C-alpha cells in the first residue's frame, strides 16, 4: 500500500465515527484516530499477513502502537468451533459484524456500561458479501478475570474483584445490553487508582434493548457465565461455591 497516495472518502457512520477508505480497507474511526488511517491500514495488512497468534481464546487480539497516536487493541474476527477449520477469519454478509459491534459498543458506552473504549472497526472485502473484519478499542492495562483469579492468591482481593465484575454485569443488564457470550475471558480486570475495576469485552454477538434485561434472558446469561466458569475450573480450585455465588446473578 502506498501511504502517500491512499484514497480517503468520509461519510458519517454515527455521531462519533466516520468511514475512511484506505487501500483495500474500509475503516470506521473516531475523529481523533482518523489522521492515523493510512498507518492503521498498513498495520492491519501486516497483522493479516503475519498469521501470528495473538491474545484471546481465538488468538485474534493484538496491541498496536501507532506513532503519535493512542495505543490500540485490535481484535481480528476469527471463527470458533468446527467452522474455524474451513473459514477461519472469513465472514459472509453485506453488513459486517465489526461495524454492528462498533455501533452497539458506542451506544452501550454512552449508557454508562463499563467497556473498553471503542475506537473503530475495519473491513477488508475479499469479494461481494465476503470479508475479513477487525474491531478496535483503546488498549487497557490488565488481564482477563480468569487470568486474574489464577494470579492473585489473596482471598479478599479476589472477592473484591469478583464483586466489581458482578457490579459491571448488573450495570450491563440494567442498561439493556444483552451479552449472550459472557464468560471469564471477556470480563477484564484493569487497575483504577490503587484498586481495580472490571470492564466488559467482545460485544460481537451482543444486542441493545430499550429496557433492562430481566427474566429468562437474564437467567440465560447467568447460566452461560457459570457454565463457562465451571468448564474452566471444574475442580473449584479458583472459584469455590462462595465465589460462584457472587457471579451467579440469575
**Residue 142 above 50 pLDDT?**
yes
Q: Does 133 have pLDDT greater than 80?
A: yes
164-191 pLDDT, tens digit per residue, is: 999 999 999 999 999 999 999 999 999 9
Tell me the longest C-alpha to C-alpha distance in the chain: 59
Cα angle: 119, vertex 26, 4; to 5 degrees: 95
pLDDT in tens, 1-24: 333 333 333 444 556 898 999 888
CA-nearest of 148, 204, 147, 154 to 181 is 204
Residue 207, pLDDT score: 94
**Residue-level pLDDT at 59:** 52
> What confidence category does residue 46 fall into, taking pLDDT thresholds of 50, 70 and 90?
confident
Counting the structural domains of the chain, the total is: 2
Let me know whether 133 and 25 are in one domain.
Answer: yes
Look up residue 193 and give its DSSP letter. T
Question: 115 and 98, same structural domain?
Answer: yes
Same domain for 156 and 235, yes or no, is yes
What confidence tier does 87 reach under pLDDT thresholds 50, 70, 90?
low
Q: Quick one: CA torsion of 161, 165, 166, 171, rounded to 10 degrees?
A: 140
d(CA 181, CA 204): 9
Could you tell me the residue range of the domain that residue 228 belongs to?
143-247
pLDDT of residue 45: 84
Q: Which of 22-31, 58-67, 148-157 has the lowest mean pLDDT?
A: 58-67
Q: Which of 85, 114, 138 is the last residue of a domain?
A: 138
The residue ranking higher by pLDDT, 114 or 100, is: 114
Average pLDDT, the chain: 86
- Does residue 81 share a domain with residue 163? no
pLDDT at 90: 80
Amino acid at each position: 500500500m502506498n501511504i502517500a497516495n491512499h484514497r480517503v472518502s468520509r461519510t458519517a457512520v454515527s455521531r462519533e465515527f466516520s468511514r475512511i477508505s484506505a487501500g483495500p480497507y474500509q475503516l470506521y474511526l473516531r475523529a481523533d484516530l482518523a489522521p492515523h488511517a493510512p498507518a492503521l491500514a498498513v498495520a492491519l495488512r501486516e497483522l493479516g499477513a503475519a498469521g501470528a497468534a495473538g491474545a484471546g481464546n481465538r488468538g485474534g487480539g493484538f496491541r498496536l502502537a501507532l506513532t503519535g497516536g493512542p495505543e490500540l487493541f485490535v481484535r481480528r474476527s476469527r471463527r470458533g468451533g468446527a467452522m474455524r477449520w474451513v473459514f477461519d477469519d472469513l465472514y459472509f454478509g453485506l453488513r459486517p459484524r465489526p461495524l454492528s459491534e462498533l455501533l452497539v459498543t458506542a451506544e452501550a458506552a454512552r449508557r454508562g456500561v463499563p467497556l473498553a473504549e471503542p475506537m473503530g472497526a475495519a473491513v477488508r472485502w475479499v469479494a461481494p458479501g465476503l470479508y475479513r473484519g477487525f474491531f478496535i478499542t483503546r488498549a487497557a492495562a490488565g488481564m482477563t478475570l480468569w487470568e486474574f483469579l489464577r494470579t492473585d492468591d489473596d482471598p479478599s482481593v479476589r472477592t473484591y474483584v469478583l464483586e466489581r465484575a458482578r457490579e459491571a454485569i448488573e450495570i450491563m443488564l440494567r442498561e439493556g445490553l444483552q451479552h449472550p457470550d459472557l464468560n471469564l475471558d471477556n470480563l477484564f480486570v484493569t487497575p483504577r487508582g490503587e484498586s481495580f475495576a472490571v470492564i466488559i469485552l467482545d460485544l460481537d454477538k451482543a444486542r441493545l434493548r430499550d429496557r433492562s434485561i430481566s427474566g429468562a434472558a437474564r437467567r440465560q446469561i447467568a447460566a452461560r457465565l457459570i457454565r463457562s466458569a465451571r468448564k474452566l475450573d471444574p475442580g473449584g480450585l479458583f472459584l469455590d461455591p462462595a465465589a460462584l455465588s457472587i457471579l451467579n446473578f440469575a
